[in-house]
Amino acid sequence: MLSEQENELLTRTGPGTPMGELMRRYWIPALLSEEIPEPDCPPVQVRLLGEALVAFRDSKGRIGLFDEHCSHRGTSLFYGRNEDCGLRCIYHGWKYDVEGNVLETPAEPPDSNLKHKVRHKAYPCREAAGIVFTYMGPKEKMPLLPEYPWTKLPADHTFVIKSFQECNYLQGLEGDCDSSHISYLHSSNHDLYKQDRVPTLIAEETDFGVRMVAIRKGGPENNYIRITNFLMPLTGHVSAKSNRVHCWAPIDDTHSWKYSLSFGSEGRPLSEDEKLSLKKEVGPDYKKLRNIHNHYLQDRRGQENKTYTGIEGFLAQDSCVTESMGVICDRTREHLGKSDTTVIAIRKFLLKAVRSLQEGQEPPCLIRDPEKIFRRPVSTGAMLPSDASWRQLLGQVS
Ligand code: FES
Ligand SMILES: [Fe+2]
């Protein structure tokens, strides 16, 4: 359970809020690369941390992410012309490059100095694994974009899709940090998790965020160990059977994007089946086919004799339990137990980070040294003899 003040602190991410300021110190997902697939393609609207933005890819393939509203008199640049290395507003023709420099103000007299006085708000972008990441914080504080095992793989080794989540980002992120729900919510699919439905949960802080361990009895002499990770600030690394990463991006305080990324290990491209399992759950607008408005197409008959939920697919199952809490879960009304150990750890980690930033300290897990840019968190599911330490799995790479 959290106090009302703590819940507010964790869930509000708009400009000027403490958590919003914290998020703006990291590279966070802004959109999919496929949304702006080629140079000079149409721009798209992006809403992120409560800000209205527009993204485009210029003639040289560079990405611009702007304040949606033109610096001249506020028209939406979404309707603009993406041409000749810049985005041009359709109202009076002001043209901007990807860095927000005003290149032309054609309605002004030729000797006008106006374009040199204005700088349009623009955020830097980088692409990795089919996701466009952006940094929305102060320029002089910009960290390096971390490299993970999935960010440097060949294109056919990764597949990413996003889905619209009708609730605050933290509810989704907490689901990724909650190993105990797997024995229930997803239980028809995970026999190993059924044998012991009361796992021992361990959380420990690392230089990337929080490592989470769930230990279940897997037989008389074995334990089944599941290791997952929370990567600061918005990523759950949840692989077990397949390699999977979830990145959460707050659209505003009551909506978020979930980026679901699957990846093969080095030398193993993903099969079409693996891609389809993600793709088939969302429509072309990235909205879930099973969603809160159709009760996730829950099948009560199926709930009786097939699955725990009667809802098909991990995405819909996870979305159901998080979106149905309400758009911002009231955490003052919870009753937490041992099974919430890792969720509590994540909240503590985030609260500590947000408070220390308020006190003027540097946020955790930022990378500034290029030598330390590569991170290899271990996420795995494996059987071990009961007397073996789960730590020996940390030598293995997912
Ligand atoms: S409002 Fe954009 S050019 Fe005038
Ligand atoms: Fe889940």
CB proximity list for 59: less than 8 A, separation 6 or greater: 39, 40, 83, 84, 85
Whole-number Å distance, alpha carbon 75 to ligand 1 midpoint, is 6
Domain locations in the chain? 27-141, 155-395
Query: Cα–Cα distance between 103 and 80 in angstroms, integer?
Result: 14
* pLDDT confidence of residue 278: 86
Q: Whose CA is nearest to atom 3 of ligand 1?
A: 92
* pLDDT confidence of residue 398: 43
CA distances to 162, 239, 383, 390 from 68, in Å? 21, 36, 51, 49
CB proximity list for 140: less than 8 A, separation 6 or greater: none
Radius of gyration of the chain (CA): 22
Q: Whose CA is nearest to atom 4 of ligand 1?
A: 92
Give residues (CB < 6 A) around ligand 1. Answer: 70, 72-73, 75, 89, 91-94
Whole-number Å distance, alpha carbon 181 to ligand 2 midpoint, is 7
Whole-number Å distance, alpha carbon 17 to ligand 2 midpoint, is 29
Whole-number Å distance, alpha carbon 140 to ligand 1 midpoint, is 30
Q: What is the 3-state secondary structure (H, E, C) of the chain?
A: CCCHHHHHHHHCCCCCCHHHHHHCCCEEEEEEHHHCCCCCCCCEEEEECCEEEEEEECCCCCEEEEECECCCCCCEHHHCEECCCCEECCCCCCEECCCCEEEECCCCCCCCCHHHHCECCEECEEEECCEEEEECCCHHHCCCCCECCCCCCCHHHEEEEEEEECCCHHHHHHHHCCHHHHHCCCHHHCHHHHHCCCCEEEEEECCCEEEEEEEEECCCCEEEEEEEEEECCCEEECCCCCCEEEEEEEEECCEEEEEEEEECCCCCCCCHHHHHHHHCCECCCCCECCCHHHHHHCCHHHHHHCCCCCCCCHHHHHHHHHHCCCCCCCHHHCCCCHHHHHHHHHHHHHHHHHHHHHCCCCCCCCCCCHHHCECCCCCEEEEEECCCCHHHHHHCCC
With contact defined as beta carbons under 8 Å apart, do 195 and 218 qualify? yes
Question: Look-up: residue for tokens 């985005």?
Answer: 87
* Ligand 1, pocket-test mutation among 87, 94, 104, most atoms within 8 A of CB: 94
Q: Whose CA is nearest to atom 1 of ligand 1?
A: 73
Choose which CATH entry (3.90.380, 3.30.230, 3.30.2320, 1.10.357) describes domain 155-395: 3.90.380
Q: Give the atom of ligand 1 at the shortest distance from the alpha carbon of 70.
A: 2
Whole-number Å distance, alpha carbon 180 to ligand 1 midpoint, is 53
* Ligand 1, pocket-test mutation among 77, 79, 89, 121, most atoms within 8 A of CB: 89
Query: Cα–Cα distance between 87 and 81 in angstroms, integer?
Result: 6
User: pLDDT per residue over 30-71, tens digit each?
Assistant: 999 999 999 999 999 999 999 999 999 999 999 999 999 999
**Fold classified for 27-141:** Rieske Iron-sulfur Protein (2.102.10)
Which ligand is closest to the CA of 81, given by its number?
1
* Ligand 1, pocket-test mutation among 73, 78, 87, 103, most atoms within 8 A of CB: 73
* pLDDT confidence of residue 395: 79
Q: Give the atom of ligand 1 at the shortest distance from the alpha carbon of 94.
A: 3
Residue 133 backbone phi and psi in degrees, to 5: -100, 150
With contact defined as beta carbons under 8 Å apart, do 184 and 197 qualify? yes
Q: Give the atom of ligand 1 at the shortest distance from the alpha carbon of 105.
A: 3
For the chain, 398 residues long, give each residue's pLDDT as a single digit of tens.
899 999 999 999 999 999 999 999 999 999 999 999 999 999 999 999 999 999 999 999 999 999 999 999 999 999 999 999 999 999 999 999 999 999 999 999 999 999 999 999 999 999 999 999 999 999 999 999 999 999 989 999 999 999 999 999 999 999 999 999 998 999 875 555 667 889 999 999 999 999 999 999 998 999 999 999 999 999 999 875 568 999 999 999 999 999 999 998 777 899 998 888 888 999 999 999 999 999 999 999 999 989 999 999 999 999 999 999 999 999 999 999 999 999 999 999 999 999 999 999 999 999 999 999 999 898 988 999 999 999 999 975 44
Which ligand is closest to the CA of 104, given by its number?
1
For residue 104, list its beta bridge partners.
Answer: 95
Fill in the amino acid letter for 311. I
* pLDDT confidence of residue 72: 98
